[in-house]
Amino acid sequence: MAALTARADRLKDARTIEAFAKEYQAAIDESLKTIEANTELNVGNSTTIVIREPKPDRDADGG
């Protein structure tokens, strides 16, 4: 929880759009590392996504 609070503080303190984007992407990347196989994510009221095989690292082009 402390890590999330610290990340949120850095997002609030970002002075440029580039700094904000970098912190935001880092938060997403860290969150994705916690997803395990067969994790269900609810999106909205009617959509559930099941992560069958998480990939720990993205390739160089971000895909």
Residue 35 lies in a domain: yes
Do the domain assignments include residue 39? yes
What local confidence, expressed as pLDDT, does residue 16 receive?
83
State the pLDDT confidence band at 44, using cuts at 50, 70 and 90.
confident
User: What mean pLDDT comes out for the span 3-27?
Assistant: 79
CB 25 within 8 A of CB 10: no
Residue scoring higher pLDDT (48 or 35): 48
Q: Computed from CA positions of residues 5, 6, 11, 15, in that sequence, does the dihedral angle turn out positive or negative?
A: positive
Q: How many domains does the chain have?
A: 1
Domain span holding position 47: 2-51
Domain-embedded: residue 60:
no
Average pLDDT over residues 11-36: 82
The pTM assigned to this predicted structure is 0.47
Alpha-carbon distance values, 30 to 46, 47, 57, 60 (Å): 26, 23, 10, 17
